[in-house]
Chain A
């Protein structure tokens, strides 16, 4: 046999060399494995832009003068010492703070159970009727708050029969629950989809009653979602403006947000900054209580995530 050489293949073209740019910046920019410095800068700039104004507002609440933009010295004047205008002495301000927290707690206490039972019912009840109500519930979630606020105000003021729905605290709670009810429903339903039916079916196969399976198997599994929705509802309610304003019956049922809106357009003093800072402190306190309470209640059950404080599951 003649020694045959393998058929000569034409040489493969040399691998394409990326054109090396002369500019070091462009080279750096195009490197696929570099650290994302630009994105990182954007993120930190965003965070500063987002939080610095609030930090400044809190700082100026300790201003000793009336200005909210010129620093005149440190003082607790707007919190405690000013005899007429401080949060402690001006009844309209501290009443607003207490009322806001009251609305938050009561609304959460009503909306979350209502929403959770609604979610369970909608999820397991099949047919066109629950489909219709599901659509209504989703609509109430996505509609602008002014639509709900104004229509509830009309209910309170134009409905010819006497109902508990009047302006004032009761009306505000009812209105806020209506607006917030969809949050727990959506979150819990999403969670139910992930969980699926197998655990309950296993429980009933093992002899538990329907309700028993619910209570002892499903509810504990839903606990993170229920907790997350309670946290979200509380945060949203203490921040609420439109519904609280439309259903307010006077200065004793104004919330902090309403107070800020009314006063900021007039002659605000740093007392307003102080009021907002106090509400912020109360919110942080609520988060901490919630966070550590949650960790205590779910100790040993796996890790919690900060994302649950914003509804992420």
Chain B
């Protein structure tokens, strides 16, 4: 082993090198560019963004504008951020309420049909998210199938405008879109629970509810938290669901703030600031995920 050890010390870092270089250039560097644009200036004539590369020359006026216009009497951007928080919490809870029973059923009672059920649960992964939203845009039109079904084929006049700036439609769309991404991690986590523990509890006289409360729920806690994170974090950055299902500023989300600002050259600095703000707000949740994964991998956290 001694002969190869000095040479082989560099084998594994060499394996990791392409990934490291890639992350450095395409993850860390772009984030630094975001900083340079958020703390950069604007060209006076064309109102186009000018990134400032030297941290000593950073100009905080654009970021100050965003931060002073979040809440309070000048608060214009805070509403969208708060709205996003509400939407994401409601939609995540909705996803959990649907995903948990389904995953639980497939794990415990799937039986012979487990393969088929899993295949059907996995199917949405292979169906484009946009196509699934398009399907609902078609159905929720004013003369679409949902209104026609609700009016029971013309018995009652039902002309609800589902696609006109309704928060409920946007939350519904978020739940519909993201629930498949929650079912599989939950299934994987619930699958790991030893069935014999549940049966033991039963044999000792616990009722269904007690068994669930005292055995299944605590053991699934980690899976629940992980799948909640995996669903709510992408939801925070979602802007296209709102664009497709509502199109009204009254349901604008954090992602819309970023998207609208970034596409307007004079507001790129503000958009970059929003981006940094989003990163900071989500950092606790992201750090939690990173820590728990590293703990699983056995590394010192």
Contacts and interface: CB of A to CB of B under 8 A. Distances in A.
A64 interface: no
Interface in A256-312: 256-257, 260-261, 264-265, 268, 272-273, 276, 279-280, 283-284, 287, 306-307, 309-312
Nearest to B239: A146
B171 interface: no
Given A32-B208, A121-B12, A264 B137 contact: yes
B23 A147 contact: no
Count chain B CB atoms within 10 A of each CB in A120, A155, A189 and give the residue with the most.
A155
B73 interface: no
**Main DSSP-derived SS at the A contact region:** helix
Given A130-B16, A151-B31, A241-B240, A144 B278 contact: yes
Interface stretch (B58-66, B98-106, B150-158): B98-106
Interface string A111-144: 0001101101111110000110111111110111
Nearest to B23: A136
Interface in B202-238: 202, 207-208, 229-230, 233-234, 236-238
A77 interface: no
Contacts of A238: 128
A228 to B, nearest CB: 12
A265 B247 contact: yes
B46 to A, nearest CB: 14
A265 to B, nearest CB: 7
B262 A152 contact: no
B55 interface: no
Contacts of A39: 101, 104-105, 109
Given A134-B294, A151-B275, A312-B188, A124 B12 contact: yes
A154 B34 contact: yes
B189 to A, nearest CB: 10
B134 A273 contact: yes
B96 interface: no
B37 interface: yes
A149 to B, nearest CB: 9
Contacts of B93: none
A133 B23 contact: yes
Contacts of A47: 117, 120-121
Count chain B CB atoms within 10 A of each CB in A133, A146, A152, A153 and give the residue with the most.
A146
Contacts of A165: 26
B134 A151 contact: no
Contacts of B279: 143, 147
A283 B13 CA distance: 36
23 contacts: A42-B102, A53-B136, A54-B127, A54-B132, A56-B139, A117-B15, A125-B15, A133-B20, A144-B278, A145-B237, A146-B275, A147-B275, A151-B30, A154-B268, A158-B33, A159-B33, A178-B22, A239-B128, A242-B240, A256-B128, A264-B130, A273-B138, A279-B131
A51 interface: yes
B236 to A, nearest CB: 6
B243 A261 contact: yes
Interface of B: 4, 8, 11-20, 22-23, 26-31, 33-34, 37, 49, 51, 98, 101-102, 104-106, 108-109, 115, 117-139, 141, 143-145, 148, 176, 179-180, 184, 187-188, 202, 207-208, 229-230, 233-234, 236-240, 243-244, 247, 255, 258-259, 262, 268, 271-272, 275, 278-279, 282, 286, 289-290, 293-294, 296-300
Contact of A151 (B34, B128, B179): B34
B234 A241 contact: no
Interface string A63-96: 0000011100000000000000000000000000
B19 A115 contact: yes
A276 B134 contact: yes
Closest 4 CB pairs of A and B: A121-B16, A144-B237, A118-B19, A121-B15
Given A42-B102, A148-B27, A279-B128, 15 more contacts: A30-B207, A42-B105, A51-B120, A118-B18, A122-B19, A124-B12, A124-B15, A131-B299, A137-B19, A155-B33, A158-B37, A235-B125, A261-B244, A280-B126, A312-B187
A206 B299 CA distance: 29
A280 B131 contact: yes
B255 A69 contact: no
A22 interface: no
Nearest to A137: B23
Contacts of A284: 126
B135 A54 contact: yes
A197 interface: no
A4 interface: no
Count chain B CB atoms within 10 A of each CB in A148, A158, A190 and give the residue with the most.
A158
Contacts of A133: 16, 19-20, 23
A69 B141 contact: yes
A193 B234 contact: no
B169 to A, nearest CB: 14
Nearest to A152: B30
A257 B4 contact: no
A30 B209 CA distance: 9
A155 B30 contact: yes
Contact of A69 (B28, B123, B129, B139): B139
Contacts of A261: 130, 240, 243-244
B131 A54 contact: yes
A306 B289 contact: no
Contact of A143 (B98, B129, B180, B286): B286
